Each structure stands twice: as C-alpha cells, then as structure tokens.
Copies of this chain bind each other. A is one copy, B any other.
Amino acid sequence: MNLNLAVISGDGIGPEVVREARKVLDRIAEKYGHEIHYTDLLMGGASIDVHGVPLTDETIEIAKSSDAVLMGSIGGNAATSPWYKLPADRRPEAGLLKLRKSLGLFANLRPAILYKELQDACPLRKDISDKGFDLMIMRELTGGLYFGARETKEVDGVMTAIDTLTYNENEIRRIARRAFDIAGKRRKKVCSVDKANVLDSSRLWRKVVEEVAKEYPDVELTHMLVDNCAMQLVKDPAQFDVILTENMFGDILSDEASMVTGSIGMLASASLNDSKFGLYEPSGGSAPDIAGQNIANPIATILSAAMMLRYSFDLDKEADAIEQAVSQVLAEGYRTGDIMSEGCKKVGTTEMGDLIAERV
C-alpha cells in the first residue's frame, strides 16, 4: 500500500517523538511491504518563526491532499515564549484549531488504557486497577459551547458574559455513527454521556443517539449523566468500552480518564472527519522544559501512528504489531523517565524508539 503522510513535528518535544514514530513506521513499511511518503509541514511556533503565522493556507492544502496527518505537539511555555506575546488568533494553538476546522475533524478519539506493567502508576486503589481498563472516549470536537457565539457586554450597567451551546441533529448523528462503528470493532458497548435532565442540547443528543443505535443492533447503548460519569471513571473505569459525548463534557472526562491511567505519556489520540482521513497525535503537551534532551516518552506518538494505520488505512495487523511491540518493551522492563519505576531499565527517547522498532 502507498501511504501519503503529512508530518507536523511541531514544537517542544514534538520533533523528537515524531522521529521515533517514523522509525517505527519505516520498520512496519519494510516488514509488511508498504511505501510511505512523508511530507514535512510547519505548524504552531515552528510556523510562526518562519512565516509569522501558526498555519499557512498552503500548509492546509498539503495536509488536505495527504491520506493522514501525524503530529507531534504544538506550543511552548506561555509565560516565557515570545509566541504568547502575539494576539490569541496568531498563537501556536490557534494553528491547531484552524487545521482541525479546515480538515473538518469533528470526532476526537482518546483511548485510556491501563497497561498491566504500569499499574503502579495508576492513582486508583489496587483492587480497582487490578481489573484493568481499556476505554475509548469519543468526543465531538467542532460544536457545543467551545464553538458557539459568545459575547461580553454591559446590560443595565452590569458586565455580562454569554456563551452558547448549540448542536443540531446532523452533528450529533455523524459523531454517534463513528462511536457505534468503533464500538463494533471493540467490546460492542456505547455509553452516551449527557446532561439530559437539564439541557435541551442533551435531550436532542440522547434522542438522536437512540435513533442511530437502531442501525447497530449488535452494539449495546446506555446513557449516563456527566456528573455520574465523572464519578464512575474513578470508581470503576473497567465498566466502560466507548464513551460518546459532546465537546466540553469530553474535554473534562477525557482528561480525567487519562489521569486515571496514571501514564499520560502513553496515550494516543486521533481526530477524524467523515472520510478515512485523520490527524493523529499524542495526548500530552509539548513539554518545552524537557525538549531536546532525549528524555521525552515517544510511546504516545508511536501508538498514535498505530491508530493511524488502524483508522485511516485499515491496516489492523500492522497496528496490532506496533501495540504488541510496545507491550513487549514494557514487559521487558524498559522505561522512559516519566514512567520509570524501581527495578526497571531507564532509556532515552531514541533508545525507546529503537527498542520498539526492533520488536515490530
């Protein structure tokens, strides 16, 4: 197969971790007989430094014409970097928001997996973490409160701020279908999270999700209120397979779920549109404080590359091979500093990439 990838290394630890993901992808290509063509693109601070803006139209066009985008991380230290002296719409993160919008990436997938070997890092009680968990949060990414109209104005002399939360049935239907599709390839359970006892948008959400569920008779649908879900992720994360939710609830719950794993450096993410196209990136930040020191954990980016093979190219066997190589390296006791524990072998970014590539 020919894979035409756009690569955005980005800022901070981005270039280092992307380099290791490419190393692993190259090994996959060699072993399974694929041809990968990479096009390097600038975004975020790296683009500001060259073009003065975090994302150019040309970059968007090249990204659009690729099959998928692999990304490192975007942004720097907001307190010290000159990038943050720019107006909000010219800062590094604005590039990522614009790219997501330009590419129509409405579905954000964030797996939260507890790796047996990293159980000690899980902040939950041992009898809870002993059960293990492997859940996927499907967050709507282009609607809701974060993208609604907003304004701050004086009303009768009193400063008043208004944000609006809007969803229409089409926006809900397309993300719901994505969630059911993915649940069908997993443990066949969707838990839709809303606040239907209060919000109109949640009541419409629930109604449309129930309609979509009829198209997927082999997938079980349950509903949960968002405040209860915030509790259940702490009490018993093993109960979940796919959690489907709107933008803001997904923002809160996916971060909570990632903390519940205890190993944010291990968590991949994907943002998908209506087609097979997707943007794949690690869940963590750009960590400018440790950039360039060969100590960043590249596993989240490597696992993002595996998600890319699975969701954009249907190369499930190859994705499995990467995920198994990661598990094997962990089982052999290799750790980067962020996931280091007693009795393990500490390795740097490059060595971790080598170890995983060798085991593919």
Measured between beta carbons, the chain B residues less than 8 angstroms from A254 are 227
CA distance A227 to B163 in the complex (A): 18
- B235, A123: Cβ atoms closer than 8 Å: yes
A80 in the interface (beta carbon within 8 A): no
State which of B195, B228, B251, B260 has its C-beta within 8 Å of the C-beta of A234: B260
Min C-beta distance of A238 to chain B, whole Å: 12
- B256, A204: Cβ atoms closer than 8 Å: no
CA distance A11 to B126 in the complex (A): 37
What copy number does this chain have within its complex?
Answer: 2
Measured between beta carbons, the chain B residues less than 8 angstroms from A231 are 255-256, 258-259
Min C-beta distance of A170 to chain B, whole Å: 6
Tally of contact residues, A, Cβ under 8 A: 51
A102 in the interface (beta carbon within 8 A): no
CA distance A125 to B260 in the complex (A): 11
> Which segment of A23-31, A152-160, A304-312 sits at the interface?
A152-160
CA distance A122 to B124 in the complex (A): 9
State which of B160, B168, B199, B256 has its C-beta within 8 Å of the C-beta of A168: B160
State which of B150, B230, B251 has its C-beta within 8 Å of the C-beta of A256: B230
Measured between beta carbons, the chain B residues less than 8 angstroms from A126 are 125
- B152, A203: Cβ atoms closer than 8 Å: yes
A162 in the interface (beta carbon within 8 A): yes
Measured between beta carbons, the chain B residues less than 8 angstroms from A204 are 152, 159-161
CA distance A166 to B163 in the complex (A): 7
Measured between beta carbons, the chain B residues less than 8 angstroms from A198 are 145-146
Measured between beta carbons, the chain B residues less than 8 angstroms from A155 are 168
Measured between beta carbons, the chain B residues less than 8 angstroms from A48 are none
> Which residue of chain B lies nearest to A153 when distances are taken between CB atoms in the complex?
B200
- A200, B124: Cβ atoms closer than 8 Å: no
- B203, A161: Cβ atoms closer than 8 Å: yes
A58 in the interface (beta carbon within 8 A): no
- B169, A160: Cβ atoms closer than 8 Å: yes
- A230, B201: Cβ atoms closer than 8 Å: no
Assuming the contacts A198-B146, A199-B145, A252-B227, asked whether A164 and B167 have C-beta atoms less than 8 A apart, the reply is no
A residues 191-224 near B (Cβ < 8 Å) are 195, 198-201, 203-205
A41 in the interface (beta carbon within 8 A): no
Min C-beta distance of A142 to chain B, whole Å: 13
CA distance A205 to B253 in the complex (A): 22
CA distance A306 to B150 in the complex (A): 42
Instruction: List, sorted by A's number, 6 A–B pairs whose CB atoms are closer than 8 Å.
Output: A123-B234, A159-B204, A161-B199, A161-B201, A230-B256, A232-B259
Q: Which A residues form the contact surface with B (CB < 8 A)? A: 122-126, 128, 145-146, 150-152, 155, 158-170, 195, 198-201, 203-205, 226-228, 230-232, 234-235, 248, 251-256, 258-260
Smallest CB-CB A-B distances: 9 pairs: A231-B259, A161-B204, A230-B256, A227-B255, A150-B200, A160-B168, A161-B200, A161-B201, A159-B169
